[in-house]
Structure 1
Amino acid sequence: MSIQDNNSQDFAGHNQLYQIDPSQLEESDQKILELSQEGYTLLKQDKIEEAIEHFKKILDIDKHNNYALVGLGDAYRKKEDFQKAKEYYELCLKYYPGNNYALFGLADCYKALNDYEKAIEIWEKYLRYDDTNVTVLTRVADAYRKVHNFKRSKELYLRVLEIEEKNPYALIGLGHLHYDFKDYQTALSYWEAVMEKDKDHVDIRVLTSIGNCHRKIKTFDKGIPFFLKALEKDPDNFYALFGLADCYRGLRDHKQSLVYWEKILENDPNNKVILTRAGDAYRHLGQIEKAEEYYHRALNIEFDTYAILGLALVHKARKEYQEAADSLKSILPVDPNNPKIYIELADCLIHLNQKEETKALLEEFFRRGFKNVHIQHIMEKLD
């Protein structure tokens, strides 16, 4: 089931408004009914401009007509003109404060504009009128997740599952909720439940999410099949390519990781993070000149501590310890909580026979709460 399917309910519900016997209507009301039905038919067919014309004709007959105001809101929302859509929904709510469709649309506009607090406020009003609408419940739960209200978000997702067992949107949302709070095992269980429900048509984002859980808990070999399956659906999907490269990196299969780093760079050659990762892979494979080239390419885009760290390690591989130490000293103030910088710099200083400076560096290392057996041995020798 595709995540996008959840949006199909946005406009369909309006059809219920028009189950009226036309013979019982006055001529103007009958005209409004016809224009409304035609407008929503056009909207579902993505003939948005024509739909807008129909709804505006209704306003010429009845300037406060709720069907037309909501219809115009829906049309502009579908055009992603959320500010204009908001105006029509708010005008409708001015005259009809309890109009569910206007509340739904207005909240969705605020969500699209990343104003989750306002979206929540409006969706909560909607739920006072209808607290069993799973589409709204999942949207509110999503919004609470965005503002890091774990408790309320989980409560609403679970409410959806009470109404509709194994609802995929609630399961997906619960997965993201637990993932956001670094509870990767629980997140995995929810996303796997989505997979069990429909293995053949599972959304690509579920596949990459499961893969990312395995990355986080370092079961890299188990994450690879999910990223590969995601690539079957979209061969250029960044998250799948990144996930695969990072899984192979975690397995120390640098040759295979490089395949996917390079694939990303084919589509995004100026991604400094990926250039640095590719540089790391070349360095691990002993291709020092190639690694140096990629680190410089990253630095030509923007300053990057990891690219400088990579260049320092290139210098170390060439036994150019002073150059390596100078590079590492330049980034230590920028990233003082990175233990790898201390470890590599200490090693360079030992090679340069700078014992007092090494000792001062390692004292700072331990003062920051870092632990490393190799560094402990170095410290003991210095004492």
Structure 2
Amino acid sequence: MSDNNEDIKELTPEQQAEEERLNEISELSKRGYQLLKENLIEDAIVCFNRILEMDDNNNYALVGLGDAARKKNRHRDAIKYYQLCLASHPGNNYALFGLADCYKALHQYSNAIDIWERYLEHDSSNVTVLTRVADAYRKVRDFRRSKEIYLKVLEMEENNPYALIGLGHLHYDFREYEDALQYWEKMLEVKQENVDIRVLTSLGNCHRKLKTYEKGLIYFGKALEQEPNNFYALFGMADCYRGLDHHEESLEYWQRILQKDPRNKVILTRAGDSFRHLGDFDKAEEYYRRALNIEFDAYAILGLALINKARGNFQDAIDSLHGLLKNDPKNHRLYTEIADCHLELGEKEKAIEILTSFQRLGIRNAYVSNMLDTLRLGR
């Protein structure tokens, strides 16, 4: 009768040492990734480096070090680790995913697309990766490919929020605002009460671009219910009221932004415009000059010129407007404002001359043409 232990082969010292080495690597790997989850990055790095001392080409350790560097926003260092891993393990999905994410973070979208496409060769139905690829194609303005992938995601998951939001942004970027509205409104239906504030401000911005300002106010108002100081919602409210020529209401929201950001020169000029439309030229001038004290701003100069025009200082207005023409020679409004000032001074020929100089640029503008025709016919 044979002994039951006869079939059990004892490990050689070398085999036992190798088994112990592999077990230690496995434990260090598990520990390292757990530390990464707990955001104890430096401790995780120690674990992964210990693995590399035992196995200098270990894919888990290389990916782990890449992930650790990525968590610290050291994307170029992370790229080196992922590339080292992929040199020996070209199909490692974790390295491919991390590498693509690094390229995305560095705004190297073409490189990110190449890596994500490689990832999809191994896992073509990964919705997370598909939406990221579509996002990257959107960033490089490949409308057709981006839309194609977003729609593929929606075939797989009918109400995938990332695809719906992405399609909204895609159409918005290409100025197809009505199509963008459809996707963001769908997002609103899906999320209902828990809708992201960015969806609300995006819907508001579509209506702002479409000049349906009343509808824009509704969405920006809902956004402000969530975050009373949200810049984009405050800006949207102010700009919609501006579009409706409700300058007093517009000014209220410009002022709310300035309470948080008093040196925002764009908002200072917008507030100046509101005061000017309301006939408070002294206050308007104060805001324009505050903007100019930060740095040169063409809109502030224009605002001051229009104040001079309104006050009857026509030559001062003309001088300021001619100064703006040097940097913006195709702006038709500058020509018509200069012409208007010359007419106020009784200088009809100079008004015709400045309007004619605009037409010599080869740009067609109905307002300039109509003004010129009226003058030539004898105003």
TM-score when normalising by structure 1: 0.89
SS in 2 for 1:104: helix
Look up the match of 2:365.
370
CA distance in 2, matches of 1:231, 1:30: 56
* CA drift at 1:235: 2.8
CA distance in 1: counterparts of 2:350 and 2:67, whole angstroms: 67
Q: Which residue in the other structure is 2:127 paired with?
A: 134
Instruction: Tell me which of 370, 376, 379 is aligned to 2:375.
Output: 379
User: How far apart are 1:78 and its partner, in Å?
Assistant: 1.2
* 1:358 and 2:358 matched: no
- Which residue, 160, 164, 170 being the options, matches 2:163? 170
The counterpart of 2:274, out of the listed 275, 281, 301, is 281
Any idea what SS the aligned residue of 2:326 has? coil
Please tell me the residue identity of whatever aligns with 1:39.
G
C-alpha spacing 1:290/1:339, structure 2 compared with 1 (3 Å)? same
Residue number among 10, 30, 33 corresponding to 2:26 in the alignment? 33
Q: Helix, strand or coil: the match of 1:333? A: helix
The answer to whether the aligner puts 1:156 opposite 2:149 as a matched pair is yes
Q: 1:235 is matched with which residue?
A: 228
Q: Distance in 1 between matches of 2:260 and 2:77?
A: 35
- Contact 1:305/1:335 (8 A) holds in 2: no
Task: Give the letter for the 1:370 counterpart.
Answer: N
* Aligned residue among 237, 241, 248 for 1:255: 248
Q: How far apart are 1:324 and its partner, in Å?
A: 1.2
Post-superposition offset of 1:343: 2.1
- Counterpart of 2:77 (choices 80, 84, 93) is 84
- Report the residue type matching 1:153 in the other structure: S
- Find out whether 1:292 has 2:288 as its counterpart: no
Q: SS of the counterpart of 2:228?
A: coil
Shift of 1:263: 1.7
| Structure exhibiting the larger radius of gyration computed from Cα positions | 2
State how far apart, in whole Å, the 1-side matches of 2:225 and 2:55 are: 52
Note the alpha carbon deviations across 1:176-233, whole angstroms, 9 max, x for none.
1111110000011111111111122222221111111011000111111222222233
Partner of 1:201: 194
Deviations 1:303-339 (A, max 9, x none): 2221111001111121111111111121123222222
Q: Quick one: distance in 1 between partners of 2:156 and 2:293?
A: 55
Verify the 8 A CA contact 1:299 1:307 in the aligned structure 2. Answer: yes
Q: 1:273 is aligned with what amino acid?
A: V
1:76-115 matches, within 5 Å, as 76-115=69-108
Report the RMSD for the aligned CA atoms in angstroms.
1.7
SS of match in other structure, 2:192: coil
Deviations 1:17-55 (A, max 9, x none): xxxxxxxx9332222222222222222222222222222
Deviation at 1:365, TM superposition (A): 4.1
Structure 1 unaligned residues grouped into runs of 5+: 1-24
Deviates more, 1:56-65 or 1:168-177: 56-65
1:181 matches 2:177:
no
Q: 2:196 & 2:48 partners in 1: Cα distance?
A: 35
Structure 2 CA distance for aligned equivalents of residues 271 and 374 of structure 1: 37
Amino acid of the structure 2 residue aligned with 1:375:
M
Q: Which residue does the alignment assign to 1:6? A: none
CA distance in 2, matches of 1:242, 1:374: 34
Q: Match for residue 264 of structure 1?
A: 257
Taking the aligned partners of 1:382 and 1:125, their CA distance within structure 2 comes to 71
The equivalences for 1:30-69 within 5 A come to: 30-69=23-62
Is the 8 Å Cα contact of residues 346 and 362 (structure 1) preserved in structure 2? yes
**Counterpart amino acid of residue 147 in structure 1:** V
In the alignment, which residue of structure 2 is the partner of 1:21?
Answer: none
Change (3 A) 1:201 1:44: farther
Answer yes or no: is the 8 Å Cα contact 1:355–1:382 preserved in 2: no
CA distance in 1, matches of 2:46, 2:186: 45
Aligned to 2:149, the other structure's residue is in SS state helix
Bigger RCO of structures 1 and 2 (CA < 8 A, at least 6 apart): 1
8 Å CA contact retained: 1:362, 1:379: no
Rounded Cα–Cα distance in structure 2 between residues aligned with 1:334 and 1:378: 28
Structure 2: how far apart are the matches of 1:254 and 1:167? 40
Moved over 6 A (4+): none
Deviates most, 226-235 or 245-254? 226-235
Structure 1 CA distance for aligned equivalents of residues 20 and 353 of structure 2: 91
Matches of 2:81 and 2:373 in 1, distance apart? 71
Letter in 2 for 1:371: A
**Cα 1:382–1:50, aligned 2, differ >3 Å: closer, same or farther?**
farther
TM-aligned CA deviation for residue 57 of structure 1: 2.2
Task: Tell me the secondary structure at the aligned position of residue 361 of structure 1.
Answer: helix
* Number of the residue aligned with 2:7: none
Q: 2:116 maps to which residue? A: 123
- CA drift at 1:300: 1.8
Per the TM alignment, residue 268 of structure 1 is displaced from its structure 2 partner at its CA by 2.0
Equivalent residues, number: 359
